Amino acid sequence: MLILIKLVHTLNQRIDIVSNRHRFGGASLRKNDRAKMRFQAICAVIALSLAGLGRIEVAQSQSLDFAGIRQSLELTANPQSRPELVKFQTVTGKLKVNSIAQTTPPPASALPAPTPTQTETLKNRLDLPSTGAEIQITNTQALTLQETLAIAFRNNRDVQVARLTIERSQAAVTTAQAAQALQVGLTANASNQGAPLFVGSANSPNPSSTQLQGGLQATYPLFNAGRDASSVRAAEEQVNFDKLDLLRVEQLLRGNVTTAYYNLQAADSSVIINQASVRDATRSLSDAQLQEKAGVGTKFDILTAQVQLANANQALTTAIGQQFIARKGIAQLLSVSEKTEYKAADPVVEAGTWRYSLEDSIIIAFKNRPEIKQQLVRRNISQKQEIVSAAADSAQGNLFANYNIGKDINSSFSAQDNYSLGLRVSWNFLDGGAARSNVSQQKVNQQISENQLTTARNQIRNDVEQAFSGIGTNRANIATATTALRQSEESLKLARLRFQAGVGTQTDVINAQTVLANARGNRVTAILNYNRALSNLQTATLVVP
C-alpha cells in the first residue's frame, strides 16, 4: 500500500515537471494532453493495484463491509442472514457493550418458542424486591412481533382489568334480575316475658313466660312503573359497553406494542448504522496514517480522521443507550419477568400493504371502532336510568304471603299458626323533586353522549386520514432513500479511491462517510415510519393484519 501511494505521488510530480518544461521551454502543453497523461498515470496505478487486490480486500473487509451493511439495512429483504445485534447490559450501574459477533441466526420461524417460565401469565406481586439480584437481568431473548403481541395480550394489566370489569358487570346483571324474582325469607325469634321488677305486685297473675315464634314471608313485585326491567336492561347495556371497551383496550395495546417494537427495531438499526460509521472512520484514520508514513499526507489529515472517529464512537454510545431504553420500554408493556431482556428478531422490512382507499378506510373505521358504539350504548344506559328515576315517584305494588307459628313454652296450649295474603301498594308522590331531578340528569347524560359521539366520529376520521397520508408519504420516501443509499455507497468508494490515488482529500472522504451514514438512517427511518403509519391505520380501522 505504501509503495502504491508513493508511486501515485511520484507520477503526479513527473506530470507537473513535464508540464513546467513545456511551459518554460516555450511550447505549452495543452490542457487536454496534461489531463490525458494524468488519467493514464491513474489507470496504471489502478492496474498495478489489482495485483495486490488480496491485501486491499483484507483491509476493506476490516474497515467497511458493504455487503454486511446491505444485509443489516435489509436491501435484499432476506431474513435468513442478518448480523447479530449488539448485546447490551448494565454492570454496577454502568453501561457495558459486549463484543459483537457477526453470526447467521436461524429464521424467525425456526426460533425456539418462549419457555413457560418466560411467557406465563404473571401473578400480581404485592411485595417489592429488596435486593439487586431479584431484578438483575440474567437472560436475553429475541422475539418476533407476533410473539410480542401474544405475550402482551396475555400479560398486560390493562387488558386483565378490562376482562375483570366485564365479569363485574355480568354479576351486576344477575343482581338486577334478582330484584324481579320472588323473594322468600324465614324469620324466627325467642323472647321471655317476666313478672314486674320495680313497679307492681310480685303476686301478679302473669308469671314469666317464654315465647317461640317463626314465620315464612314471600314477596313478589307486581308492578313498579318499569323500574326493575329497566335496571336489568341498563345492566346488560353496561356489559356491552365493557365488552366494547375491552376491544378498544386490546386494539390500543396492539398499536402501542407494535409501535414499541418498531422503536426497538429503530434502536437496533441505529446501533448497526453507527457501528458501520465507526468502521468507516477507523479505515479513514488508517488511510491517513499510511499516507503520512509515505510522506504524502499531513498531520492535519490524521487529526481530522481522529475527530471523525471520536464523533462516531460518541454516536454509537448514544445509540446503545437508546437501545437499552427501548428494550426496557417494551418489557414494561409486556409485563414480563424483570430478569429477562427482550430484543427484536424481525428484520426491518415493510410490514405489508393497505388495500383500501381513503374513503373505504373511513367507512370501515366508522363501522368497527368501539368508541362510536360505546357512545350509543352509553346513551341507551341513560335512557334506561331515566325510566328507573321516573319510577321513584310512581305507584309500586307487591304481592305478599306470610305464614307465622308461635308457642308459649310455659303454657299447656299447643302451638298456634296463621297466614296472610294480600297486595301492598305504595306511592311516594311527594319526594321534594328528587325523582324529577334525577330524570333531568339522565336526559343531560344522553345529550352528552350524542355530543361525544360526534367528537369521536371526527377524531376517528382524523386518525384514518393522518395514517393514510403517512403510508403514501413514507412509501415514496423508502424509494428515494434506497436510491440515495446506493449512490452514497458508490460515492464513498470513489472518494476513497481518489484519496488513495492522491487526487482527492480527506475532507471528501469524511463528507462521503457522513452522507452514507445519513442515507442509511434515512432508509431505516422511512421503512419504520411506513410501518408505524400502517399500524396506526390498522388501529384506527380495527382491521387486524
Chunked into runs of 10 residues, the chain (545 residues) has average pLDDT values of: 51 52 48 54 48 37 38 39 36 35 36 38 56 70 89 88 94 92 92 72 64 92 89 94 93 90 91 89 87 82 89 93 88 77 87 91 93 92 92 89 88 85 89 89 92 91 93 92 93 88 81 88 92 92 84
What pLDDT sits at residue 310?
A: 93
* Cα-based distances in Å from 245 to 96, 239, 248: 43, 10, 5
DSSP 179: T
Distance CA 387, CA 438 (A): 10
What pLDDT sits at residue 67?
A: 41
Distance CA 375, CA 241 (A): 9
Q: Which positions ≥6 away from 346 have C-beta within 8 Å?
A: 79, 108, 144, 145, 261, 265
Distance CA 283, CA 280 (A): 5
From the CB of residue 400, how many other CB atoms can be counted at a distance below 10 Å? 15
* Residue 425 backbone zone (phi > 0: left; psi -120 to 50: alpha; other: beta): beta
Query: What's this model's pTM, rounded to 2 decimal places?
Result: 0.64
What pLDDT sits at residue 184?
A: 92
Coil, helix or strand at residue 340: strand
Identify whether the C-beta of residue 48 lies closer than 8 Å to the C-beta of residue 3: no
Query: Which residue, 23, 471, 490, 347, is CA-closest to 463?
Result: 471
Amino acid at 263: N
Amino acid at 98: N
DSSP 418: E
Distance CA 418, CA 216 (A): 11
What pLDDT sits at residue 100?
A: 32
What pLDDT sits at residue 91?
A: 35
Identify whether the C-beta of residue 45 lies closer than 8 Å to the C-beta of residue 7: yes
35, three cell numbers: 489531463
Distance CA 499, CA 373 (A): 67
C-alpha torsion sign, points 290, 292, 297, 302: positive
Distance CA 319, CA 329 (A): 15
* Cα-based distances in Å from 124 to 130, 155, 270: 17, 10, 35
What pLDDT sits at residue 116?
A: 37
Distance CA 114, CA 155 (A): 14
Distance CA 102, CA 500 (A): 29
What pLDDT sits at residue 105?
A: 37
**What does the longest C-alpha to C-alpha distance in the chain come to?**
164
Burial 230-243 (b: 16+ CB within 10 A, else e): bbbbbbbbbbbbbb
From the CB of residue 53, how many other CB atoms can be counted at a distance below 10 Å? 10
Distance CA 361, CA 533 (A): 14
Distance CA 300, CA 372 (A): 67
What pLDDT sits at residue 534?
A: 93
Amino acid at 248: R
Distance CA 254, CA 260 (A): 10
